[in-house]
Structure 1
């Protein structure tokens, strides 16, 4: 076992002392309360080099490979040359003391936190380029950049953390996070800094309870936490370069080494005599350095013990999420595809031709190579050229165009981007909870109560709540199978869990009926080994399950397997059901845009009758399917990422089905002024309305339980938004035309239902009323057109020919309207049309 060595080096006078490594790791730079900057060479016991006659009382230092930049008590931000050991210039002057600095990952910008309530960003090469961030009225204590440099987090003395998105248009306040950290003064020793994980998807903060809490970027939810490591406030933290380990130190003078994945303490270093205020990992070696409030520097070589050293040698590890969105197998998350690519999003057919390929021919490309390094002489440069992300660095390219780093592999680079499977009504994990189902009956949600990964004592809690509590009672239970999908109806709830190889547990389906006239009987079905559930649906008659092996499994409500078959279109995407009908969707052949077409099949399980077989799901180019469900009348509906709701017309007749738009949410009147920025989460189509959840600033519903909203159908027949709720008398020609199309679609759907099923008398009466409603719209439209004069006569006659009333009553009224408007020619033609209909002869030429 390697002997751990702790070297204590005098660095500065007593007081706050800070440190940082240069990006290449060759130098360790410290600054303190005296007027000297010290430069220690990594691996050398020689005396450090000094930069003398600097500003005094330095509170922060950052470094590039060439420069060191300090922030001091007098408000100056100074840049020094590490080679010349001299002052290069003053980058910025603040009116009050500078408390913290952060260097952007590309080395171009410095973020400055001072006591004057304004955070400034200054460009190193051009100090006249200064950006001010003054959204808070309190001083900033800490600043830190995300590893990619696209976000800046600022910790203020009132306990608020602001996160700014750094795009081409400049910093934009992205998220305000109050109450994450304690309210502290800028001179207090405990830290409130947001420490970004090296993978850039989360940061850690020290909480008031002396624990370390991880927050995920994007949904800004609490993730894993590191607990019971310190008995006093934490003063500094540092992730290892690959994020696999975390070091923390507190006022209890304990230095703790944590495992990031399990949040377990690997080692605690006691006996530290000073208050440590700064930690810094060496970029590539097993060295942790730290500085104290007494001006001392500690260089801890072989810091990570041998038994844990393998963790330090891994590539960059993922942030400690409760549920990592990049690795979970939920149907609503991105999964690793089977074609060998890292992610289907990495390959796009829409990028056309790589710009580099258009400039360099095949010969030049082969000269530069395809990014593969062969260490044929054993010099070891193949290992040195690989960075912590498992990628080749650009050091070997010198001044060559860096676009070579971005070009695609030239061989076997393209794979079609398949549509990933999803469960309609389900949301991804956010923090430790997610919705398993959201519909008009109620909602199902689950909470992950585990703390340190999946262990025997870990469990989830599932809650099922109903909107109508007089009809059904809510229930809640604890389970250890980790259900990740669910469907809810008035009669029961179906759950499924993924397979768990670690516990030798197969994928399981669990059905729980709500009420029965006999004793309630719950049942389980385990799927074969290696098979997992990709989507489920539940109707009044059947349970439908699509799986990772492209099987469609149909069960009765009592667990009897009724059907099992393999889908022709694969991989499967989702499914839906209504009474005896089931609908499955899968990936089909690759279309002209380079993406697989989605194909759907609808069949009646009870009659074993296929209504539509492998027909195309009509999606707009570039859009994806977001939800699939049946309406309350049993018509298949889809909702895509463009915000369009479509219904399948004539779906009971093979070969006649058409996808018809019912609503384009981008044309809602509430969005006409352009002030609202919102999207809509589909829930159901019922009572001739689209029921959804309005989302602002997020893609998925979250807690507390969101309210449901409904919108009337609005057919996109005109460029301008229309108001469906207006009375017919108030509508313009465009609005009446939209109403005619909308009511005609409703009539067609109802006509299909009445003509293809054993319709009840109420359904037949409803059809008659619907056809009357269509005629009423046409009559109002005819009246408006007749007011515009004789030149509209041909259009008026066409409107009259669309009337559905066969008794002649509507035609008589139409003739009366024409006569009242003094359109005698039109009135005569309407009279002839009425006569031809009465004798059963329709002359299309008229």
Structure 2
């Protein structure tokens, strides 16, 4: 029978879409930029039936995960919802609760084989494992250096694969205490955080022995479980980056789609050319116009090709043996094999036994397996979901504070910003394993000329001021640089601070400071009066512009960021009162310290407010000298009367999300600087939330303000003059 593709069904409005087949192939589930989740009947005779529409999200749906009894969907607001599936005729989909609410977009989801856990990839470097029984946060897997874009449980849930937008792959052993067992930092594409269209997904084969990963040569690599060696590469058809993968039900074929607008089906043993129906010879895919297609009879079975869905009895070495010169199949560390190896019945029996044992343990412990799964309430006033049942709050004691540098971005196509403010920008360009290039660009060309230099230190952060630039590097950067180990005089990992002055007539103004062993910078700041660094040991170190350390003190190891202006240093810390609910929802609280940059005088200190469910993402000083912050909800605040510790107060001056909505624009504002009447930003069209280093230049800086902002700006100008 010849392959055929159904006419498009316009399931969603134009934009990013995601698709997944039901566990039995009975339905196709789609999500789109119109905040809808839609369920289509897959069998040929039932496709004309009306789709089931789930209207419970309030933002773009970015991810779907489907198991035997559940559908999970995640959106750009970070809300993950659960739906119960009844496969009996007629098909029934019912909302069953909210799994997680966070300030970070849910880019990918993966449900464990027992349906008791879900792995979540969001717009940060942490993979979160959430319980589907009580919605508690079970584990936070830390190690990625860039936002995670893909997560995938192996079929037995022993391993979890995750991919970062910096092109790295990590594999985690999820037994007992999760641990990373394999890292490949350069296997796949580097993509821009927040750009769903270009993010890559890695997927396990149905038998759990192979992991398919889009690689940076427009192909796919098949990685063997346990040895983590590349057994085969599927390449030569796609001409651009592969983004999504799906295995056939028996693991014989892999389907892929890429930015070249091609859908390719690969014979794993040979080669032929998005999501598979697990029990049929059909493929479903969606495009960015919002249309959904079903590709029937993908594999030409009548021409002798193996069916993609039959349970084929094969010798266990046949597949891997054809991919390697010598068949070398490692002993599996779990009991899971797939029907590809002829033992699916035994597998199903083992899984059922394991689930029965786990259910028995839960009942013995008196746990309520339905807890939190019956609280799904739709809020019909347009404000979003009604809050679930009140959850007990618990102190965040097991998660390390995430520090950041204002004006810094992740790596995007071998480039990243280390600093970006109204003085100029500092960009790092990766060259090879031995050095990077640092490019400094100034906005006022009449004062300074742009320049660049070779960076053998491979600096990981920078703080730019009118007089010079402070650079720093961490041990993770130095660990792979033998020349720097020799500089340190031993094989110990040593971090450095390096200051470069801009005044060409100055002498002895460039200096380098080596930090003690096992002490590494977390954030740095520079101004015309001095520089400062806060380290992993909780040390605040203050230096003169000439490199003399004039002050050192201990701070709580909860520093989020720091920034300097003239003789002032602003430090933002995560409060010891930051808490979360059992559902994993964070309620972040912050503190601030305002002091002189020589460390001798405390000017003010206290609570640093943030919008509920928000996090501080930028800190700086206004042109008039007021400390300022911006949170992940787009709210900008200035510290009023900072010179009087008893009267200092944070005043809201601008809501950038409301401004964008009022202007009818879907765009994000990346903070750069603030003045009395203007908030200087880089405008990023959604879904991007940070500037692309290849596009951003001083001319792209926007000026966003409103009538309310003008009123606050007038106040700021007057208060500054006092």
Q: What band does the TM-score fall into relative to the shorter chain?
A: 0.5 to 0.7
Residues in 2 aligned to 1:682 and 1:74: alpha-carbon distance in whole angstroms: 46
Residues in 2 aligned to 1:308 and 1:532: alpha-carbon distance in whole angstroms: 43
Pick the aligned partner of 1:545 from 499, 520, 533: 533
Residues 242 and 628 of structure 1: CA distance in aligned 2, closer, same or farther (over 3 Å): farther
1:304-319 aligned at under 5 Å gives the runs none
Residues 108 and 439 of structure 1: CA distance in aligned 2, closer, same or farther (over 3 Å): farther
In the alignment, what sits opposite 1:421? 403
Q: Do the aligned partners of 1:105 and 1:145 also contact (CA within 8 Å) in 2? A: no
Pick the aligned partner of 2:504 from 510, 516, 531: 516
- Report the CA distance between 1:422 and its aligned residue: 1.7
Structure 1 SS opposite 2:620: strand
In the alignment, what sits opposite 1:482? 458
In the alignment, what sits opposite 1:630? 621
1:692-771 aligned at under 5 Å gives the runs 692-697=681-686, 698-703=688-693, 704-705=695-696, 707-712=700-705, 714-715=707-708, 724=710, 739=711, 742-751=713-722
- Report the CA distance between 1:311 and its aligned residue: 11
Structure 2: segments with no counterpart, 5+ residues: 8-18, 31-37, 53-62, 75-79, 84-92, 94-105, 108-149, 154-160, 168-186, 235-245, 253-266, 273-299, 307-311, 337-345, 375-388, 482-491, 582-586
| Superimposed CA distance per residue, residues 249-278 of structure 1 (whole angstroms, 9 cap, x where no aligned partner) | 9xxxx9985579999755689xxxxxxxx9
Residues in 2 aligned to 1:672 and 1:557: alpha-carbon distance in whole angstroms: 45
Residues 588 and 248 of structure 1: CA distance in aligned 2, closer, same or farther (over 3 Å): closer
In the alignment, what sits opposite 1:536? 524
In the alignment, what sits opposite 2:34? none
1:193-272 aligned at under 5 Å gives the runs 199=161, 218-220=194-196, 245-246=211-212, 265-266=230-231
In the alignment, what sits opposite 1:98? none
Residues in 1 aligned to 2:192 and 2:448: alpha-carbon distance in whole angstroms: 37
RCO comparison, higher one (Cα < 8 Å, 6+): 2
- Report the CA distance between 1:579 and its aligned residue: 1.7
Residues in 2 aligned to 1:108 and 1:402: alpha-carbon distance in whole angstroms: 27
Normalising by structure 1, we get a TM-score of 0.46
In the alignment, what sits opposite 1:686? 675
Residues in 1 aligned to 2:621 and 2:689: alpha-carbon distance in whole angstroms: 23
Structure 1: segments with no counterpart, 5+ residues: 1-55, 60-72, 77-100, 113-119, 133-143, 153-164, 176-194, 205-210, 227-236, 270-277, 317-379, 451-456, 717-723, 725-738, 752-846
- Report the CA distance between 1:466 and its aligned residue: 1.5
Residues 393 and 216 of structure 1: CA distance in aligned 2, closer, same or farther (over 3 Å): farther
Residues 682 and 74 of structure 1: CA distance in aligned 2, closer, same or farther (over 3 Å): closer
In the alignment, what sits opposite 2:86? none
Structure 1 residue 641 and structure 2 residue 656: aligned?
A: no
Structure 1 residue 469 and structure 2 residue 465: aligned?
A: no
Pick the aligned partner of 2:643 from 624, 648, 652: 652
Pick the aligned partner of 1:598 from 590, 595, 599: 590
Structure 2 SS opposite 1:589: coil
Q: Do the aligned partners of 2:676 and 2:717 also contact (CA within 8 Å) in 1? A: no
In the alignment, what sits opposite 1:562? 550
Q: Do the aligned partners of 1:238 and 1:248 also contact (CA within 8 Å) in 2? A: no
Residues in 2 aligned to 1:601 and 1:522: alpha-carbon distance in whole angstroms: 29
Pick the aligned partner of 1:301 from 306, 309, 316: 316
Matched residue pairs, number?
479
Residues 583 and 590 of structure 1: CA distance in aligned 2, closer, same or farther (over 3 Å): same
In the alignment, what sits opposite 1:580? 567
- Report the CA distance between 1:215 and its aligned residue: 6.2
1:30-429 aligned at under 5 Å gives the runs 56-57=1-2, 59=3, 103-104=21-22, 107-110=25-28, 122-124=40-42, 127-129=47-49, 199=161, 218-220=194-196, 245-246=211-212, 265-266=230-231, 295=304, 297=306, 301-302=316-317, 303=320, 397=359, 403=370, 415=396, 420-429=402-411
Structure 1 SS opposite 2:610: coil
Structure 1 residue 676 and structure 2 residue 665: aligned?
A: yes
Q: Do the aligned partners of 1:572 and 1:586 also contact (CA within 8 Å) in 2? A: yes
| Superimposed CA distance per residue, residues 644-700 of structure 1 (whole angstroms, 9 cap, x where no aligned partner) | 2222122122322111223233454x6436x22223222112354221122221221
Structure 2 SS opposite 1:582: strand
Residues 220 and 458 of structure 1: CA distance in aligned 2, closer, same or farther (over 3 Å): farther
Structure 2 SS opposite 1:425: coil
Structure 1 SS opposite 2:625: coil
Structure 2 SS opposite 1:515: coil
| Superimposed CA distance per residue, residues 546-595 of structure 1 (whole angstroms, 9 cap, x where no aligned partner) | 1222211111222211211111x441111111122212121233179884
Structure 1 residue 610 and structure 2 residue 602: aligned?
A: yes
Residues 259 and 486 of structure 1: CA distance in aligned 2, closer, same or farther (over 3 Å): farther
In the alignment, what sits opposite 2:293? none
| Superimposed CA distance per residue, residues 116-161 of structure 1 (whole angstroms, 9 cap, x where no aligned partner) | xxxx9732486444569xxxxxxxxxxx987888799xxxxxxxxx
| Superimposed CA distance per residue, residues 45-86 of structure 1 (whole angstroms, 9 cap, x where no aligned partner) | xxxxxxxxxxx44x4xxxxxxxxxxxxx5979xxxxxxxxxx
Residues in 1 aligned to 2:220 and 2:29: alpha-carbon distance in whole angstroms: 28
Residues 256 and 438 of structure 1: CA distance in aligned 2, closer, same or farther (over 3 Å): closer
Structure 1 SS opposite 2:575: strand
Q: Do the aligned partners of 1:463 and 1:476 also contact (CA within 8 Å) in 2? A: yes
Q: Name the structure with the higher strand share.
A: 2
| Superimposed CA distance per residue, residues 203-242 of structure 1 (whole angstroms, 9 cap, x where no aligned partner) | 99xxxxxx9868688425868999xxxxxxxxxx986866
Residues in 1 aligned to 2:47 and 2:533: alpha-carbon distance in whole angstroms: 62
Residues 708 and 475 of structure 1: CA distance in aligned 2, closer, same or farther (over 3 Å): same
Q: Do the aligned partners of 1:447 and 1:462 also contact (CA within 8 Å) in 2? A: yes
Normalising by structure 2, we get a TM-score of 0.53
In the alignment, what sits opposite 1:437? 419
Q: Do the aligned partners of 1:424 and 1:629 also contact (CA within 8 Å) in 2? A: yes
Structure 2 SS opposite 1:557: coil
Q: Do the aligned partners of 2:404 and 2:561 also contact (CA within 8 Å) in 1? A: yes
| Superimposed CA distance per residue, residues 510-569 of structure 1 (whole angstroms, 9 cap, x where no aligned partner) | 2222223145653322222322222111101211111222211111222211211111x4
Residues in 1 aligned to 2:674 and 2:569: alpha-carbon distance in whole angstroms: 17
Structure 2 SS opposite 1:746: helix
- Report the CA distance between 1:111 and its aligned residue: 8.2
Q: Do the aligned partners of 2:417 and 2:427 also contact (CA within 8 Å) in 1? A: yes
Residues 489 and 653 of structure 1: CA distance in aligned 2, closer, same or farther (over 3 Å): same
Q: Do the aligned partners of 1:145 and 1:196 also contact (CA within 8 Å) in 2? A: no
